[in-house]
Structure 1
Amino acid sequence: METLLQYFETIPPLHRGLIIVGGLTFFWLLEGALPLFNFNYKKWKHAVPNIFFTITTILVNLPLAFLLLMASDWVFANNFGILNWLPDMALGLYIFIGILLMDFFGAYLPHLIEHKVPPLWMVHLVHHSDHKVDATTANRHHPIESVIRYLFTLIGVIIIGAPIGIVMLYQSLSIVATQFSHSNIKLPKKVDKLISYVFVSPDMHKVHHHYKMPYTDSNYGNIFSVWDRLLGTYMELDTDKIVYGVDVFPDEKENSNIKDLLKQPFQKYRKPTAKLDD
Protein backbone atom coordinates (compact mmCIF):
# COMPACT_ATOMS: atom_id res chain seq x y z
CA MET A 1 0.00 0.00 0.00
CA GLU A 2 2.84 2.36 0.83
CA THR A 3 4.42 1.75 -2.58
CA LEU A 4 1.08 2.40 -4.29
CA LEU A 5 0.65 5.69 -2.45
CA GLN A 6 4.21 6.75 -3.24
CA TYR A 7 3.66 6.05 -6.93
CA PHE A 8 0.56 8.25 -7.09
CA GLU A 9 2.28 11.01 -5.14
CA THR A 10 4.51 11.61 -8.16
CA ILE A 11 2.51 10.03 -11.00
CA PRO A 12 3.73 11.53 -14.32
CA PRO A 13 1.16 13.33 -16.50
CA LEU A 14 1.88 10.77 -19.24
CA HIS A 15 0.78 7.95 -16.95
CA ARG A 16 -2.42 9.81 -16.09
CA GLY A 17 -3.08 10.21 -19.79
CA LEU A 18 -2.48 6.51 -20.35
CA ILE A 19 -5.07 5.68 -17.70
CA ILE A 20 -7.66 7.77 -19.54
CA VAL A 21 -6.83 6.38 -22.97
CA GLY A 22 -6.34 2.82 -21.73
CA GLY A 23 -9.65 2.73 -19.88
CA LEU A 24 -11.52 4.30 -22.78
CA THR A 25 -10.03 1.83 -25.24
CA PHE A 26 -10.84 -1.17 -23.02
CA PHE A 27 -14.48 -0.23 -22.48
CA TRP A 28 -14.86 0.86 -26.12
CA LEU A 29 -13.88 -2.66 -27.20
CA LEU A 30 -16.01 -4.27 -24.49
CA GLU A 31 -19.06 -2.37 -25.74
CA GLY A 32 -18.64 -3.99 -29.11
CA ALA A 33 -18.65 -7.46 -27.57
CA LEU A 34 -21.35 -6.97 -24.90
CA PRO A 35 -23.64 -4.10 -25.98
CA LEU A 36 -26.58 -3.12 -23.80
CA PHE A 37 -28.28 -1.19 -26.60
CA ASN A 38 -27.67 -1.86 -30.27
CA PHE A 39 -27.29 1.76 -31.27
CA ASN A 40 -27.70 2.48 -34.96
CA TYR A 41 -24.88 5.02 -35.09
CA LYS A 42 -21.44 5.71 -36.45
CA LYS A 43 -19.45 5.18 -33.30
CA TRP A 44 -16.44 7.29 -34.28
CA LYS A 45 -18.64 10.18 -35.41
CA HIS A 46 -20.57 10.06 -32.15
CA ALA A 47 -17.29 10.04 -30.20
CA VAL A 48 -15.90 13.24 -31.75
CA PRO A 49 -17.65 15.83 -29.50
CA ASN A 50 -17.22 13.59 -26.46
CA ILE A 51 -13.49 13.19 -27.02
CA PHE A 52 -13.24 16.95 -27.61
CA PHE A 53 -14.72 17.56 -24.15
CA THR A 54 -12.48 14.89 -22.67
CA ILE A 55 -9.50 16.86 -24.00
CA THR A 56 -10.84 20.13 -22.59
CA THR A 57 -11.28 18.42 -19.21
CA ILE A 58 -7.65 17.36 -19.29
CA LEU A 59 -6.56 20.86 -20.32
CA VAL A 60 -8.44 22.33 -17.34
CA ASN A 61 -7.21 19.82 -14.77
CA LEU A 62 -3.54 19.30 -15.60
CA PRO A 63 -2.36 22.94 -15.34
CA LEU A 64 -4.27 23.38 -12.06
CA ALA A 65 -2.88 20.23 -10.45
CA PHE A 66 -0.32 22.35 -8.58
CA LEU A 67 -3.17 23.88 -6.53
CA LEU A 68 -4.16 20.42 -5.34
CA LEU A 69 -0.55 19.82 -4.34
CA MET A 70 -0.37 23.14 -2.50
CA ALA A 71 -3.63 22.43 -0.66
CA SER A 72 -2.49 18.93 0.24
CA ASP A 73 0.85 20.22 1.54
CA TRP A 74 -0.94 22.88 3.61
CA VAL A 75 -3.33 20.47 5.35
CA PHE A 76 -0.41 18.16 6.13
CA ALA A 77 1.73 20.96 7.53
CA ASN A 78 -1.14 22.29 9.64
CA ASN A 79 -2.58 18.93 10.68
CA PHE A 80 -5.91 20.03 9.22
CA GLY A 81 -8.78 17.95 7.88
CA ILE A 82 -10.80 14.83 8.71
CA LEU A 83 -8.05 12.31 7.97
CA ASN A 84 -5.63 14.18 10.20
CA TRP A 85 -8.11 14.24 13.08
CA LEU A 86 -8.83 10.51 13.02
CA PRO A 87 -6.92 8.11 15.28
CA ASP A 88 -4.06 6.06 13.86
CA MET A 89 -5.20 3.21 11.63
CA ALA A 90 -3.94 0.70 9.08
CA LEU A 91 -2.71 2.34 5.87
CA GLY A 92 -5.23 0.42 3.76
CA LEU A 93 -8.15 1.69 5.83
CA TYR A 94 -6.69 5.22 5.76
CA ILE A 95 -6.53 5.14 1.95
CA PHE A 96 -10.06 3.67 1.67
CA ILE A 97 -11.60 6.36 3.89
CA GLY A 98 -9.71 9.04 1.98
CA ILE A 99 -11.00 7.83 -1.39
CA LEU A 100 -14.54 7.38 -0.02
CA LEU A 101 -14.60 10.97 1.23
CA MET A 102 -13.00 12.33 -1.96
CA ASP A 103 -15.74 10.56 -3.91
CA PHE A 104 -18.33 12.48 -1.88
CA PHE A 105 -16.78 15.95 -2.10
CA GLY A 106 -15.30 15.60 -5.58
CA ALA A 107 -18.13 13.77 -7.35
CA TYR A 108 -21.40 13.13 -5.51
CA LEU A 109 -21.82 16.58 -3.94
CA PRO A 110 -21.02 18.74 -6.99
CA HIS A 111 -23.14 16.43 -9.16
CA LEU A 112 -26.11 16.82 -6.82
CA ILE A 113 -25.70 20.60 -6.66
CA GLU A 114 -25.46 20.85 -10.45
CA HIS A 115 -28.89 19.24 -10.69
CA LYS A 116 -30.42 21.54 -8.09
CA VAL A 117 -29.03 24.96 -9.11
CA PRO A 118 -30.52 26.14 -12.45
CA PRO A 119 -27.43 27.87 -13.95
CA LEU A 120 -25.25 24.88 -13.04
CA TRP A 121 -27.85 22.51 -14.48
CA MET A 122 -27.57 24.36 -17.79
CA VAL A 123 -23.82 23.73 -17.75
CA HIS A 124 -24.30 20.08 -16.79
CA LEU A 125 -26.86 19.55 -19.57
CA VAL A 126 -24.01 19.12 -22.03
CA HIS A 127 -23.33 15.80 -20.34
CA HIS A 128 -26.98 14.73 -20.29
CA SER A 129 -27.76 15.72 -23.87
CA ASP A 130 -25.96 12.69 -25.30
CA HIS A 131 -28.55 10.47 -26.98
CA LYS A 132 -26.24 7.46 -27.24
CA VAL A 133 -24.59 7.03 -23.86
CA ASP A 134 -21.39 4.99 -24.09
CA ALA A 135 -17.85 4.99 -22.70
CA THR A 136 -17.00 8.26 -24.49
CA THR A 137 -19.85 10.02 -22.66
CA ALA A 138 -17.94 9.64 -19.37
CA ASN A 139 -15.96 12.87 -19.72
CA ARG A 140 -18.40 14.80 -21.89
CA HIS A 141 -18.36 17.89 -19.67
CA HIS A 142 -18.44 21.53 -20.69
CA PRO A 143 -15.15 23.29 -19.74
CA ILE A 144 -17.08 25.37 -17.19
CA GLU A 145 -18.22 22.19 -15.49
CA SER A 146 -14.65 20.92 -15.46
CA VAL A 147 -13.68 24.05 -13.52
CA ILE A 148 -16.63 23.65 -11.13
CA ARG A 149 -15.77 20.04 -10.36
CA TYR A 150 -12.12 20.93 -9.95
CA LEU A 151 -13.03 23.56 -7.34
CA PHE A 152 -15.11 21.04 -5.40
CA THR A 153 -12.21 18.60 -5.50
CA LEU A 154 -9.89 21.33 -4.20
CA ILE A 155 -12.28 22.15 -1.35
CA GLY A 156 -12.60 18.42 -0.66
CA VAL A 157 -8.83 18.07 -0.31
CA ILE A 158 -8.82 20.78 2.37
CA ILE A 159 -11.84 19.48 4.31
CA ILE A 160 -10.63 15.87 4.17
CA GLY A 161 -6.98 16.70 4.78
CA ALA A 162 -6.07 14.39 1.92
CA PRO A 163 -2.42 13.74 0.99
CA ILE A 164 -1.61 14.17 -2.68
CA GLY A 165 -1.11 10.42 -3.15
CA ILE A 166 -4.73 9.75 -2.20
CA VAL A 167 -5.92 12.66 -4.37
CA MET A 168 -4.16 11.34 -7.48
CA LEU A 169 -5.22 7.76 -6.74
CA TYR A 170 -8.82 8.92 -6.35
CA GLN A 171 -8.75 10.84 -9.63
CA SER A 172 -7.35 7.82 -11.47
CA LEU A 173 -9.98 5.49 -10.00
CA SER A 174 -12.66 8.08 -10.73
CA ILE A 175 -11.76 8.16 -14.42
CA VAL A 176 -11.97 4.39 -14.80
CA ALA A 177 -15.14 4.17 -12.70
CA THR A 178 -17.00 6.75 -14.78
CA GLN A 179 -15.92 5.09 -18.03
CA PHE A 180 -17.21 1.78 -16.66
CA SER A 181 -20.56 3.15 -15.47
CA HIS A 182 -21.24 4.98 -18.76
CA SER A 183 -20.19 2.09 -20.99
CA ASN A 184 -22.85 0.62 -23.22
CA ILE A 185 -22.26 -2.85 -21.80
CA LYS A 186 -24.70 -5.52 -20.73
CA LEU A 187 -23.76 -7.41 -17.60
CA PRO A 188 -25.88 -10.23 -16.15
CA LYS A 189 -28.59 -8.57 -14.04
CA LYS A 190 -27.50 -10.34 -10.86
CA VAL A 191 -23.87 -9.34 -11.40
CA ASP A 192 -24.77 -5.70 -12.04
CA LYS A 193 -27.03 -5.65 -8.99
CA LEU A 194 -24.31 -7.20 -6.81
CA ILE A 195 -21.79 -4.59 -7.97
CA SER A 196 -24.27 -1.79 -7.25
CA TYR A 197 -24.36 -2.59 -3.53
CA VAL A 198 -20.86 -1.12 -3.25
CA PHE A 199 -19.90 0.52 -6.54
CA VAL A 200 -21.80 2.44 -9.21
CA SER A 201 -22.68 -0.17 -11.82
CA PRO A 202 -23.57 0.48 -15.49
CA ASP A 203 -27.29 -0.26 -15.03
CA MET A 204 -27.42 1.91 -11.92
CA HIS A 205 -25.90 4.93 -13.62
CA LYS A 206 -27.94 4.52 -16.81
CA VAL A 207 -31.02 5.31 -14.70
CA HIS A 208 -29.51 8.74 -14.08
CA HIS A 209 -29.37 9.36 -17.84
CA HIS A 210 -33.08 8.65 -18.34
CA TYR A 211 -34.72 11.83 -19.62
CA LYS A 212 -37.67 11.73 -17.26
CA MET A 213 -37.91 12.94 -13.68
CA PRO A 214 -37.45 11.78 -10.99
CA TYR A 215 -34.93 9.36 -12.48
CA THR A 216 -32.72 12.15 -13.84
CA ASP A 217 -32.34 13.36 -10.26
CA SER A 218 -31.04 10.10 -8.85
CA ASN A 219 -27.90 7.95 -8.72
CA TYR A 220 -25.37 10.78 -8.59
CA GLY A 221 -22.50 8.59 -7.41
CA ASN A 222 -19.28 8.07 -9.31
CA ILE A 223 -17.20 5.36 -7.65
CA PHE A 224 -19.24 4.27 -4.63
CA SER A 225 -23.01 3.76 -4.49
CA VAL A 226 -23.08 4.25 -0.72
CA TRP A 227 -23.76 8.00 -0.92
CA ASP A 228 -26.90 7.52 -3.02
CA ARG A 229 -28.12 4.76 -0.73
CA LEU A 230 -27.42 6.68 2.49
CA LEU A 231 -28.77 10.03 1.29
CA GLY A 232 -31.94 8.75 -0.40
CA THR A 233 -31.03 9.46 -4.03
CA TYR A 234 -30.82 5.83 -5.15
CA MET A 235 -33.39 4.65 -7.72
CA GLU A 236 -33.89 1.67 -9.98
CA LEU A 237 -35.41 1.43 -13.45
CA ASP A 238 -35.40 -1.43 -15.92
CA THR A 239 -32.94 -0.67 -18.70
CA ASP A 240 -35.63 -1.52 -21.29
CA LYS A 241 -37.48 1.63 -20.21
CA ILE A 242 -34.52 4.00 -20.33
CA VAL A 243 -34.59 6.82 -22.89
CA TYR A 244 -31.43 8.94 -23.09
CA GLY A 245 -31.29 12.69 -23.54
CA VAL A 246 -32.98 15.75 -22.02
CA ASP A 247 -36.35 17.20 -22.93
CA VAL A 248 -35.18 20.83 -23.11
CA PHE A 249 -32.62 20.07 -25.83
CA PRO A 250 -34.18 17.25 -27.91
CA ASP A 251 -32.35 17.91 -31.19
CA GLU A 252 -29.82 15.11 -31.52
CA LYS A 253 -28.05 16.84 -34.41
CA GLU A 254 -27.39 19.97 -32.32
CA ASN A 255 -26.40 17.82 -29.37
CA SER A 256 -23.70 16.24 -31.52
CA ASN A 257 -22.24 19.55 -32.65
CA ILE A 258 -19.33 20.94 -30.64
CA LYS A 259 -20.18 24.58 -31.40
CA ASP A 260 -23.80 24.17 -30.25
CA LEU A 261 -22.73 22.29 -27.13
CA LEU A 262 -20.28 25.03 -26.15
CA LYS A 263 -23.12 27.57 -26.39
CA GLN A 264 -25.67 25.38 -24.60
CA PRO A 265 -25.11 26.66 -21.02
CA PHE A 266 -25.73 30.26 -22.11
CA GLN A 267 -29.20 29.66 -23.49
CA LYS A 268 -32.30 30.55 -21.51
CA TYR A 269 -32.93 28.14 -18.64
CA ARG A 270 -35.93 25.88 -19.04
CA LYS A 271 -36.85 23.51 -16.26
CA PRO A 272 -36.71 19.87 -17.49
CA THR A 273 -40.26 18.62 -16.98
CA ALA A 274 -41.56 17.80 -20.47
CA LYS A 275 -41.22 14.54 -22.40
CA LEU A 276 -39.09 13.19 -25.14
CA ASP A 277 -40.41 10.39 -27.26
CA ASP A 278 -41.17 7.60 -24.78
Structure 2
Amino acid sequence: MIISSTTEMWVRLGVFIGILAIMMCWEALTPNRKSPVPKLARWSTNFGLIFIGSLVVRLLIPAGLAAVALWAQQQNIGLWNQFSVGLWWSIPITVVLFDCLIYWQHRVFHRVPLLWRLHRVHHADPHIDVSTGLRFHPIEIALSIAIKLIAVIVLGAPLLAILVFEVLLNATAMFSHANIALPKRIEQPLRKIIVTQTMHRIHHSQIVSETDSNFGFNLSIWDRLFGSYTESANNGDEGINIGLTEYSSAKSNSNLINLLSMPFKGDTNHYK
Protein backbone atom coordinates (compact mmCIF):
# COMPACT_ATOMS: atom_id res chain seq x y z
CA MET A 1 0.00 0.00 0.00
CA ILE A 2 1.45 3.34 -1.06
CA ILE A 3 0.87 6.31 1.20
CA SER A 4 2.20 9.66 0.05
CA SER A 5 3.94 11.97 2.50
CA THR A 6 1.16 14.51 1.85
CA THR A 7 -1.53 11.99 2.79
CA GLU A 8 0.38 11.00 5.91
CA MET A 9 0.75 14.64 6.95
CA TRP A 10 -2.94 15.49 6.50
CA VAL A 11 -4.16 12.35 8.26
CA ARG A 12 -1.87 12.98 11.24
CA LEU A 13 -2.75 16.69 11.34
CA GLY A 14 -6.48 16.00 11.11
CA VAL A 15 -6.45 13.46 13.94
CA PHE A 16 -4.16 15.69 16.02
CA ILE A 17 -6.45 18.74 15.74
CA GLY A 18 -9.54 16.62 16.32
CA ILE A 19 -8.27 14.89 19.48
CA LEU A 20 -6.76 18.13 20.78
CA ALA A 21 -10.07 19.96 20.36
CA ILE A 22 -12.06 17.16 22.02
CA MET A 23 -9.70 16.94 25.00
CA MET A 24 -9.56 20.73 25.48
CA CYS A 25 -13.36 20.95 25.45
CA TRP A 26 -13.62 17.99 27.85
CA GLU A 27 -11.11 19.63 30.20
CA ALA A 28 -13.01 22.91 30.08
CA LEU A 29 -16.34 21.26 30.90
CA THR A 30 -15.19 18.85 33.64
CA PRO A 31 -11.64 19.65 34.79
CA ASN A 32 -10.10 17.20 37.25
CA ARG A 33 -8.00 19.83 39.04
CA LYS A 34 -7.15 23.50 38.92
CA SER A 35 -3.80 24.65 37.57
CA PRO A 36 -1.52 26.22 40.21
CA VAL A 37 -0.08 28.57 37.55
CA PRO A 38 -1.93 30.79 35.03
CA LYS A 39 -3.26 28.80 32.08
CA LEU A 40 -2.25 31.39 29.47
CA ALA A 41 1.37 31.36 30.64
CA ARG A 42 1.53 27.55 30.60
CA TRP A 43 -0.15 27.16 27.26
CA SER A 44 1.99 29.81 25.55
CA THR A 45 5.19 28.00 26.56
CA ASN A 46 3.84 24.48 26.07
CA PHE A 47 2.43 25.14 22.61
CA GLY A 48 5.54 27.17 21.73
CA LEU A 49 7.62 24.09 22.54
CA ILE A 50 5.21 21.91 20.53
CA PHE A 51 5.60 24.23 17.52
CA ILE A 52 9.40 24.06 17.70
CA GLY A 53 9.21 20.29 18.06
CA SER A 54 7.06 20.06 14.92
CA LEU A 55 9.65 22.09 13.00
CA VAL A 56 12.40 19.73 14.21
CA VAL A 57 10.43 16.73 12.93
CA ARG A 58 9.98 18.28 9.49
CA LEU A 59 13.60 19.40 9.27
CA LEU A 60 14.99 15.99 10.24
CA ILE A 61 12.59 13.89 8.15
CA PRO A 62 10.83 16.19 5.65
CA ALA A 63 8.84 13.36 4.06
CA GLY A 64 8.10 11.59 7.36
CA LEU A 65 8.82 8.09 8.64
CA ALA A 66 6.51 6.68 5.97
CA ALA A 67 9.05 7.72 3.32
CA VAL A 68 11.77 5.85 5.21
CA ALA A 69 9.53 2.78 5.37
CA LEU A 70 8.92 3.03 1.61
CA TRP A 71 12.67 3.29 0.96
CA ALA A 72 13.32 0.20 3.13
CA GLN A 73 10.65 -1.68 1.20
CA GLN A 74 12.13 -0.69 -2.15
CA GLN A 75 15.61 -1.72 -1.00
CA ASN A 76 14.26 -4.96 0.48
CA ILE A 77 15.67 -4.00 3.89
CA GLY A 78 14.23 -5.09 7.23
CA LEU A 79 12.61 -8.12 8.81
CA TRP A 80 9.16 -7.92 7.21
CA ASN A 81 10.67 -7.38 3.76
CA GLN A 82 12.52 -10.70 4.03
CA PHE A 83 9.39 -12.77 4.49
CA SER A 84 6.03 -13.03 2.80
CA VAL A 85 3.91 -11.87 5.72
CA GLY A 86 0.48 -10.42 5.07
CA LEU A 87 -0.42 -6.92 6.23
CA TRP A 88 -3.07 -8.38 8.55
CA TRP A 89 -0.17 -9.75 10.63
CA SER A 90 2.67 -7.32 10.01
CA ILE A 91 0.70 -4.12 10.76
CA PRO A 92 -0.71 -4.99 14.23
CA ILE A 93 2.54 -6.69 15.30
CA THR A 94 4.57 -3.67 14.20
CA VAL A 95 2.28 -1.26 16.05
CA VAL A 96 2.54 -3.33 19.25
CA LEU A 97 6.34 -3.63 18.95
CA PHE A 98 6.68 0.11 18.44
CA ASP A 99 4.49 0.73 21.47
CA CYS A 100 6.82 -1.48 23.52
CA LEU A 101 9.81 0.39 22.09
CA ILE A 102 8.39 3.73 23.23
CA TYR A 103 7.77 2.27 26.69
CA TRP A 104 11.46 1.32 26.99
CA GLN A 105 12.61 4.58 25.45
CA HIS A 106 10.61 6.43 28.10
CA ARG A 107 12.02 4.26 30.87
CA VAL A 108 15.61 4.75 29.71
CA PHE A 109 15.13 8.52 29.58
CA HIS A 110 14.30 8.34 33.28
CA ARG A 111 17.29 6.18 34.22
CA VAL A 112 20.14 7.84 32.29
CA PRO A 113 21.00 11.20 33.92
CA LEU A 114 21.98 12.90 30.66
CA LEU A 115 18.70 11.86 29.03
CA TRP A 116 16.73 12.80 32.13
CA ARG A 117 18.01 16.37 31.72
CA LEU A 118 16.04 16.47 28.47
CA HIS A 119 13.00 14.56 29.66
CA ARG A 120 12.53 16.61 32.82
CA VAL A 121 11.28 19.46 30.60
CA HIS A 122 8.18 17.30 30.20
CA HIS A 123 7.94 16.53 33.92
CA ALA A 124 8.64 20.08 35.09
CA ASP A 125 5.10 21.14 34.17
CA PRO A 126 3.40 21.89 37.54
CA HIS A 127 0.04 21.00 36.06
CA ILE A 128 -0.98 18.21 33.72
CA ASP A 129 -3.36 18.61 30.81
CA VAL A 130 -3.56 17.84 27.11
CA SER A 131 -0.73 20.28 26.30
CA THR A 132 1.63 18.41 28.67
CA GLY A 133 1.29 15.31 26.52
CA LEU A 134 3.07 17.10 23.68
CA ARG A 135 5.54 19.16 25.72
CA PHE A 136 9.00 17.73 24.98
CA HIS A 137 12.38 19.32 24.46
CA PRO A 138 13.37 19.47 20.73
CA ILE A 139 16.54 17.44 21.39
CA GLU A 140 14.48 14.67 23.00
CA ILE A 141 12.18 14.73 19.98
CA ALA A 142 15.20 14.44 17.67
CA LEU A 143 16.54 11.45 19.62
CA SER A 144 13.12 9.81 19.58
CA ILE A 145 12.91 10.25 15.82
CA ALA A 146 16.33 8.63 15.43
CA ILE A 147 15.24 5.65 17.54
CA LYS A 148 12.03 5.20 15.57
CA LEU A 149 13.89 5.62 12.27
CA ILE A 150 16.27 2.78 13.19
CA ALA A 151 13.32 0.62 14.23
CA VAL A 152 11.52 1.30 10.93
CA ILE A 153 14.58 0.17 8.96
CA VAL A 154 15.34 -2.88 11.12
CA LEU A 155 11.75 -4.10 11.00
CA GLY A 156 11.05 -3.01 7.44
CA ALA A 157 7.86 -1.61 8.95
CA PRO A 158 4.85 -1.38 6.61
CA LEU A 159 3.82 2.12 5.60
CA LEU A 160 0.34 1.79 7.04
CA ALA A 161 1.72 0.50 10.35
CA ILE A 162 3.85 3.63 10.71
CA LEU A 163 0.88 5.89 10.02
CA VAL A 164 -1.32 4.00 12.50
CA PHE A 165 1.38 4.07 15.17
CA GLU A 166 2.19 7.78 14.81
CA VAL A 167 -1.50 8.70 14.95
CA LEU A 168 -2.01 6.48 18.00
CA LEU A 169 1.07 7.86 19.76
CA ASN A 170 -0.11 11.46 19.47
CA ALA A 171 -3.73 10.63 20.28
CA THR A 172 -2.99 8.50 23.35
CA ALA A 173 -0.40 10.98 24.66
CA MET A 174 -3.04 13.72 24.59
CA PHE A 175 -5.70 11.42 26.05
CA SER A 176 -3.61 10.07 28.94
CA HIS A 177 -2.39 13.55 29.97
CA ALA A 178 -5.80 15.23 29.77
CA ASN A 179 -7.01 17.02 32.91
CA ILE A 180 -10.07 14.81 33.30
CA ALA A 181 -11.12 11.84 35.42
CA LEU A 182 -13.17 9.01 33.98
CA PRO A 183 -15.83 7.40 36.19
CA LYS A 184 -14.27 4.56 38.21
CA ARG A 185 -16.59 1.97 36.64
CA ILE A 186 -15.10 2.90 33.25
CA GLU A 187 -11.54 3.78 34.26
CA GLN A 188 -10.76 0.55 36.12
CA PRO A 189 -11.55 -1.91 33.29
CA LEU A 190 -10.22 0.49 30.63
CA ARG A 191 -6.77 0.73 32.25
CA LYS A 192 -6.37 -3.02 31.83
CA ILE A 193 -5.99 -2.25 28.12
CA ILE A 194 -4.83 1.34 27.70
CA VAL A 195 -3.23 3.99 29.88
CA THR A 196 -5.84 6.22 31.54
CA GLN A 197 -5.50 9.69 33.02
CA THR A 198 -5.64 8.44 36.62
CA MET A 199 -2.97 5.85 35.89
CA HIS A 200 -0.64 8.29 34.14
CA ARG A 201 -1.03 11.13 36.66
CA ILE A 202 0.85 8.90 39.11
CA HIS A 203 3.83 9.06 36.74
CA HIS A 204 3.85 12.86 37.07
CA SER A 205 3.96 12.76 40.87
CA GLN A 206 6.75 14.55 42.74
CA ILE A 207 7.33 11.30 44.68
CA VAL A 208 10.26 9.62 42.90
CA SER A 209 8.98 6.06 43.36
CA GLU A 210 5.73 7.08 41.65
CA THR A 211 7.49 9.03 38.91
CA ASP A 212 9.51 5.91 38.18
CA SER A 213 6.40 3.88 37.38
CA ASN A 214 3.58 3.77 34.83
CA PHE A 215 5.79 4.61 31.85
CA GLY A 216 3.31 3.50 29.19
CA PHE A 217 1.57 5.89 26.82
CA ASN A 218 -0.84 3.61 24.97
CA LEU A 219 -1.01 -0.05 26.03
CA SER A 220 -0.88 -0.55 29.79
CA ILE A 221 0.40 -4.12 29.59
CA TRP A 222 4.08 -3.12 29.48
CA ASP A 223 4.10 -1.67 33.00
CA ARG A 224 2.55 -4.86 34.37
CA LEU A 225 4.78 -7.11 32.30
CA PHE A 226 8.04 -5.34 33.19
CA GLY A 227 7.27 -4.58 36.84
CA SER A 228 6.78 -0.82 36.70
CA TYR A 229 3.05 -0.67 37.41
CA THR A 230 1.64 1.36 40.30
CA GLU A 231 -2.06 0.84 40.95
CA SER A 232 -2.70 4.01 42.94
CA ALA A 233 -0.83 7.02 44.32
CA ASN A 234 0.21 7.08 47.98
CA ASN A 235 -2.01 10.11 48.62
CA GLY A 236 -4.75 9.18 46.18
CA ASP A 237 -5.41 10.81 42.82
CA GLU A 238 -6.51 14.12 44.35
CA GLY A 239 -3.45 14.25 46.61
CA ILE A 240 -0.83 13.94 43.86
CA ASN A 241 1.55 16.89 43.70
CA ILE A 242 2.32 17.27 40.00
CA GLY A 243 5.70 18.20 38.53
CA LEU A 244 9.21 18.60 39.91
CA THR A 245 9.80 20.46 43.17
CA GLU A 246 12.69 22.49 41.77
CA TYR A 247 10.55 23.73 38.84
CA SER A 248 7.20 24.25 40.54
CA SER A 249 7.04 28.03 40.15
CA ALA A 250 5.17 29.85 37.41
CA LYS A 251 8.42 31.57 36.42
CA SER A 252 10.08 28.24 35.57
CA ASN A 253 7.26 27.34 33.19
CA SER A 254 6.14 30.66 31.73
CA ASN A 255 9.15 31.36 29.54
CA LEU A 256 10.03 29.37 26.45
CA ILE A 257 13.73 30.17 26.83
CA ASN A 258 13.65 28.67 30.34
CA LEU A 259 12.28 25.40 28.98
CA LEU A 260 14.74 25.25 26.08
CA SER A 261 17.70 25.90 28.40
CA MET A 262 16.50 23.68 31.26
CA PRO A 263 18.58 20.60 30.24
CA PHE A 264 21.77 22.65 30.44
CA LYS A 265 21.19 24.05 33.94
CA GLY A 266 21.32 22.60 37.44
CA ASP A 267 22.01 18.97 38.31
CA THR A 268 20.16 15.71 37.78
CA ASN A 269 18.32 16.13 41.09
CA HIS A 270 16.08 13.14 40.44
CA TYR A 271 19.07 10.80 40.44
CA LYS A 272 21.33 12.27 43.12
Report the Cα distance in structure 1 between the residues aligned to 2:57 and 2:97, rounded to whole angstroms: 20
**Equivalences for 1:112-261 in 2 at 5 Å?**
112-237=107-232, 238-261=236-259
| SS of residue paired to 2:246 | coil
1:112 deviates by 1.1
Cα contact 1:174–1:222 (8 A) shared by 2: yes
1:56-103 deviation digits (Å, cap 9, x = unpaired) = 1211112314363453234424554444467745x4443221111111
2:261 to 260, 263, 269: 263
Amino acid at match of 2:164: L
Gaps of 5+ in 1: none
Q: Letter of the 1:263 partner, please give it.
A: S
Q: Structure 1 residues 273 and 134 mapped into 2: Cα distance closer, same or farther (>3 Å)?
A: same
Per the TM alignment, residue 145 of structure 1 is displaced from its structure 2 partner at its CA by 0.9
Q: Give yes or no for contact 1:130–1:245 (8 Å, CA) kept in 2.
A: yes
CA-atom RMSD in angstroms: 2.4
How far, CA to CA, are the matches of 2:254 and 2:228 in structure 1? 29
TM-score (norm 1): 0.87
Deviates more, 1:11-20 or 1:43-52: 11-20
Q: Measure, in 2, the Cα distance between the counterparts of 1:19 and 1:248.
A: 35
CA distance in 2, matches of 1:14, 1:175: 14
Number of equivalent positions:
268
CA contact (8 A) 1:8 1:169 kept: no
* Partners of 1:67 and 1:154 within 8 A in 2: no
Moved more, 18-27 or 180-189: 18-27
Taking structure 2 as the reference length, the TM-score comes to: 0.88
Instruction: Give the aligned partner of residue 41 of structure 2.
Output: 45
CA contact (8 A) 2:126 2:249 kept: no
Matching of residues 40-79 of structure 1 within 5 Å: 42-63=38-59, 64-66=61-63, 68-77=65-74, 79=76
Shift of 1:221: 1.1
Fraction of identical pairs, as percent: 31
